[in-house]
Amino acid sequence: MSLEQEIKLQVSQDEALSLECLDWLMALLEAPSERIHLLSTYYDTPNRDLQKFGAGLRLRQIGEQWLQTVKCTGKTERGLHQRKEWEHQLAGPEFDKALLNQTELAPLIEDAAIWNALSPLFTTEFERLVLPLRLTDGTRVEMAYDRGEVRAGDRQAIIHEIELELKAGEIKKVQQLADRLKAALPLQYSDISKAAQGYGLVQVYEK
C-alpha cells in the first residue's frame, strides 16, 4: 500500500499544450520524457457496492503490461488528491483475488455475491506524456499530461489534464510547481478524478 499524493489541473482549452515552450519546466527534467498509451477498465456491481464503500477498482493495460489497482476515495481539496493505493502487476487481463484480499476491498472481495456481480462499468483511454522532474530542493515529481476520453456505453467525456504526483520530498513544493504552471498555462485546479468522471458519465447514461 502507498499513499498517493497528486495535484490535478484541468486544461481549459481544446488544443494541446506546448509544454516544451516552458524553458524553466524543461530544465527540471531529470530524465527524458516518455509517451505512453493507457487503456483502463473500471469495475463495480450494478448496486455500486465499491463506490458506496469508498474505493475504486480498475484493470489497466500499458502495452503488454497489465496492472490491477485499488484506490480509496481519500481526501481532495484545491486539486490535491490524497488517497491510499494498491497497485499490482498481473500476468494477464484477469484480477488476482489473493492480491485484492491484501487491500481494503478484502471484505467485499470475500463476499461471493459482490465478487460475482463485478462487471466493467466504464473505460478511460488516453495518451500520457510523462515528465520526471526534480525540483531545486531535490523533491521528485512525476508530471503526467493526459489527453483522451472516458467512455460509458455510447457516451464520452474528454480527458485533458495534468497530474503532478509526489514521488519524494514535500507536497508543498508540488503545490508551488502547480501554482507556477497555472500562471503560465490555461489550467484550473480540479477535484474530480478520472474515476469520478466515469461514474458521473454512467449516471447520465443510465437515466
What is the arithmetic mean of pLDDT over 145-157?
94
For 2-206, CATH number?
2.40.320.10
Pick from 124, 126, 125, 105: nearest CA to 45: 105
φ, ψ of residue 71 in degrees (nearest 5): -130, 135
Using the predicted structure, report yes or no on whether residue 49 has a pLDDT greater than 90: yes
pLDDT at 206 over 70: no
Is the pLDDT at 74 greater than 90? The verdict is no
Lowest mean per-residue pLDDT among 8-12, 67-71, 141-145, 200-204? 200-204
Asked whether the predicted pLDDT for residue 108 surpasses 60, the reply is yes
DSSP lists the bridge partners of residue 86 as 70
Query: Residue 155 pLDDT more than 70?
Result: yes
Q: Where are the beta strands (DSSP E) in the chain?
A: 2-11, 34-44, 55-62, 65-72, 75-77, 80-90, 119-134, 140-152, 155-168, 187-189
What pLDDT does 205 receive?
54
pTM of the model: 0.91
